[in-house]
Amino acid sequence: MLPDQLVFAMEVTLNGLMAGVMYALVALGFVLIFKASGIFNYAQGVLALFAALTLVGLQNGQIPFAHLINAAFGTDLHSFGWTLPAALAIALTALVMVGLAWAIERLILKHLVNQEPIILFMATIGLAYFLEGLGDVMWGADIKTLDVGLPQGISEGIEAVTAEWFGYGFFIDRLDIVATLVAAALVAALTLFSQYTKYGRALRAVADDHQAALSVGISLRFVWVLVWSIAGFVALIAGIMWGAKSGVQFSLSLIALKALPVLMLGGFTSIPGAIVGGLIIGMGEKLFEFFAGPLIGGATENWFAYVLALLFLVFRPQGLFGERIIERV
């Protein structure tokens, strides 16, 4: 038998890793866009929120802009009166995210080609608030439950097995296990896509050198729509997982803030970095709370990730996997 403290720590570690999967998913969306276009997309978290809102709305047959329409015309509309199967609603939402990517390229990025990164960053801040407002007006501000049939509750199997091994049954959320598997599948699919399809190759080419990409006939604008679509799809997955866990609410966009320390750890251009960084932050903050929380008054999860990121900034500014930048003189 292992000492109690160690067994608890193992459970905390597992839970932390699974929380980290969420951070990793959001960070992944960031990295994709940053690599391909050098844009730091502040709106990535809001994309996840918007995707989740749209998914719930479509699934429940909510009429978009119902409030607005009712207020303007004195009607009393709420619902189309249908309930879509989860798979269909997810597919439709994915299409909406592609449309959104197209619109973002058309209405914003196209006009800001060759601008300073800070300008593009400001544009994505604007986009974030716009999308948050749009989500609110389209689907309403109330907290919604998202049910796409993912398993819920504590996994009894794991509880039983660990009880047998350690004399103590681990509480692991089934949803966390599913989220981990889905995230792993997503990363595998993205890797296959970028290594073996022509669009994936075009994407890598654009991420590496714009001029060279143009010279072999790759349209930068097409690649940007593509990469924002993929980021939108990743946001949808993140939105589903988070929404299924804690309901679809506007605080969802705040997970974007946790992705920031993840990126500082993993490096802004590394996909493995985003994954590993997310896992480290998720695990780190849970373990720190477990061991140090009681000593220093708790609530360490609010700040631990940022302090860890700060330490990284001081000692390894390029992140875990980023390449060391040596100034040419």
Residues that bind another protein in the complex, under the rule CB under 8 A: 196-199, 201-202, 204-205, 208-209, 211-220
Residues 6+ apart with CB under 8 A from 135: 46, 49, 50, 53, 54, 250
Helix (H/G/I), strand (E/B), else coil: 79: strand
Residue 248's beta-bridge partner residues? 144
* Residue whose CB is less far from another protein, 90 or 131: 90
- How far apart CA 209 and CA 216 sit, in angstroms, is 11
Give the total residue count for the chain: 329
Q: Shortest gap between Cβ of 214 and another protein (angstroms)?
A: 4
What kind and span of H or E run contains 310? helix 304-315
Q: Shortest gap between Cβ of 115 and another protein (angstroms)?
A: 18
* Residue whose CB is less far from another protein, 202 or 244: 202
* Residue whose CB is less far from another protein, 174 or 201: 201
Q: Shortest gap between Cβ of 231 and another protein (angstroms)?
A: 17
Q: Shortest gap between Cβ of 298 and another protein (angstroms)?
A: 44
Q: In this structure, which amino acid lies at residue 60?
A: N
Residues 6+ apart with CB under 8 A from 21: 176, 179, 180, 183, 241, 278, 279, 282
- How far apart CA 109 and CA 37 sit, in angstroms, is 10
Planar angle of CA 248, 158, 20, nearest 5 degrees: 45
Q: Shortest gap between Cβ of 193 and another protein (angstroms)?
A: 9
* Residue whose CB is less far from another protein, 223 or 238: 223
Q: Shortest gap between Cβ of 246 and another protein (angstroms)?
A: 33
* Residue whose CB is less far from another protein, 266 or 284: 266
* Residue whose CB is less far from another protein, 164 or 211: 211
- How far apart CA 252 and CA 46 sit, in angstroms, is 8
